[in-house]
Amino acid sequence: MKPLYLGIDASTQSLTGIVVDCGASEVLACESVNFEKDLPCYGTSAGVCVSPENPLEVWSYPAMWLDALEMLFAKLSKSVDMKKISAISGSGQQHATVWLNSAEAFSFWDFSKSLSENMRPFFSRDKSPVWMDASTSAECREMTMSAGGYSEVLQKTGSIMTERFSGAQIRKISKTEAKTYAKTKKIHLNSSFICSVLCAADSPVDFCDASGMNLMNIKNFDWDPQMLDSCAQNLESKLPKLASPKTVAGKIAKYFCRKYGFNENAKIVVFTGDNPSSIVGLGASNSGTAAVSLGTSDTFFCSLKDFRPSVNAHIFCNPNGAYMGLICFRNASLARDKFREMMGVNWKFFDETAFKNYMPTPDKKLILPFFVDEISPRLQSNAPIYAGFPPKDSKENYIRTFIEGQVINIFLQVKKIGPIPKKIILTGGASKSLGIAQTFADVFGANVYALKSSQNSAALGAAMRAASCDYDLNTLESMFCPLKQIKKARPQATQVYLKKLNLFEDMLRSNIR
């Protein structure tokens, strides 16, 4: 009997499960449960609720994630022989915290009840603040001050204090809901919570997801006493243990064997965050490779050998060893769409026609491509800024310069955290644009690839991490993440951009407010 491996991704909007068969190097099944559509009783919109009084406050419900887990297993068990699954791992939206009033919450299951009914008495809060919550600026300032300044926090935790990260969220709840904080015995992350449920035992948080808390010292992989002190009282006693992402947390609980036919020897590999999981599922967990997801926000991931933090980036532990960098850009697809509309052209013109037979030549045309305040780098903006254009110029020139501006900005931020990658994997909607792909290749001097088959990268990465109980992670990346090359760097163009980078940097500097 060939073993199968299951990866589960608990993301913001849905819960997805992917089953892989390493014998055949194929994805055998993929099922998903959509929180808003399939669990309307929780009243979420796209998986979250936003406070009507304060739009910066955003939360979700851990009980909903559990209901979704059962729905997912019911769906999967229709097409997969669950007995053949020999290991399970998973990932979760990063930063979300789950608040429990007992350290023993996971030790008892009543088979006649659903998971959420079993767990409900153990929640000290029924809500979980999620990564979209940005209501903790005061707590970020307070923690930065008491931990010795932003550079100290950056060096210790890999990120400056960040509103959505768990540390600031925990501090806010400890201040505003002191009674809840006092009666809370355990604060899990989404990832370690679902992992604990699956093995009916208190599971550790892996180093990679813990890097998104501003509480772990990323150099010694331990809770940092000063960060904990600056956050809330007696916090260490409430946090799970920390563990390497390779740790086997336990075996699957009887509850799931009885209800969904799992094999009782199925191992559970500790869960991690969705971004560390994605870097594996995209085949980019080895150094020298980067992945760029072009979407509502553009997200750049790369594996890093050395720890070189930057205020605009987040450095996390990498499930495949050493570090990974994550840089988010707010001015992304919506900005591209807005600019396309301003130019009055369709997507075909914007993506292809404007770049047909185009080879950059030295000129001083520049666009700072920001329609809204940017986070990488942090700057305020409400419209693009132009330089070096003659009074009347072609739409093609404007479009190319706008895209160049976006890619050059990404390049400049990436340069701060490590060597420039020589292999870039593009994913997401805009990755189909040949003009954008060629601009990435030329600005970075790198070859640009796309994945041959598109999967939920976090869930696939989780299945691959489960399979890493028996297979090497690098072998799994070549099995499940085959690439096709879409564009090559043209050295002549890279030379031109090398000069333009400096001009862009100067313009950026003089416009940061």
Can you give the binding site for ligand XUL, defined by CB under 6 A? Answer: 12, 93-95, 131, 164, 212, 273-275, 314
**From CA 224, how far away is CA 373, in angstroms rounded?**
32
Closest distance to ligand XUL from the beta carbon of 504 (Å):
26
The residue among 253 and 315 lying less far from ligand XUL, judged by its C-beta, is 315
434 by Cβ neighbours in 10 Å (0-12 / 13-18 / 19+) ranks as middle
Q: Which distant-in-sequence residues (6+ apart) come within 8 Å of 356 by Cβ?
A: none
The residue among 118 and 211 lying less far from ligand XUL, judged by its C-beta, is 211
The residue among 275 and 289 lying less far from ligand XUL, judged by its C-beta, is 275
Which parts of 416-481 fold into alpha helices (H)?
434-444, 457-467, 473-480
The residue among 14 and 439 lying less far from ligand XUL, judged by its C-beta, is 14
Closest distance to ligand XUL from the beta carbon of 458 (Å):
8
Task: List residues bridging with 385 in a β-sheet.
Answer: 368
What radius of gyration do the chain's Cα atoms show? 23
**From CA 186, how far away is CA 199, in angstroms rounded?**
16
**From CA 61, how far away is CA 115, in angstroms rounded?**
13
Closest distance to ligand XUL from the beta carbon of 275 (Å):
5
- Give the Cα-Cα-Cα angle 369, 95, 43 (nearest 5 degrees): 90
The residue among 215 and 367 lying less far from ligand XUL, judged by its C-beta, is 215
Amino acid at 472: D
The residue among 77 and 297 lying less far from ligand XUL, judged by its C-beta, is 297
Contact 476, 18 (CB under 8 A): no
Amino acid at 206: D
Q: Which helix (H) or strand (E) holds 257?
A: helix 254-260
Closest distance to ligand XUL from the beta carbon of 376 (Å):
12
The residue among 31 and 274 lying less far from ligand XUL, judged by its C-beta, is 274
The residue among 191 and 263 lying less far from ligand XUL, judged by its C-beta, is 191
Closest distance to ligand XUL from the beta carbon of 91 (Å):
9
**From CA 306, how far away is CA 290, in angstroms rounded?**
15
What DSSP string runs through 354-423?
A: GGTT----S---EEE--SS-EETTEE--SS-EEES--SS--HHHHHHHHHHHHHHHHHHHHHTTSPPPSE
Closest distance to ligand XUL from the beta carbon of 463 (Å):
18
The residue among 251 and 314 lying less far from ligand XUL, judged by its C-beta, is 314
Closest distance to ligand XUL from the beta carbon of 135 (Å):
14
Helix, strand, coil percent values for the chain (each to nearest 5):
40, 25, 35
SS3 of residue 328 by DSSP: strand
Closest distance to ligand XUL from the beta carbon of 512 (Å):
23
Contact 269, 468 (CB under 8 A): yes
In the block, residue with structure tokens 């009055």: 344
**From CA 305, how far away is CA 323, in angstroms rounded?**
6
Chain centre distance of CA 254:
31
The residue among 314 and 423 lying less far from ligand XUL, judged by its C-beta, is 314
Contact 32, 11 (CB under 8 A): no
Structure-block tokens of residue 16: 């997805």
The residue among 275 and 320 lying less far from ligand XUL, judged by its C-beta, is 275
Closest distance to ligand XUL from the beta carbon of 160 (Å):
13
Closest distance to ligand XUL from the beta carbon of 273 (Å):
6
Closest distance to ligand XUL from the beta carbon of 312 (Å):
13
Residue 48 is given by DSSP the state B
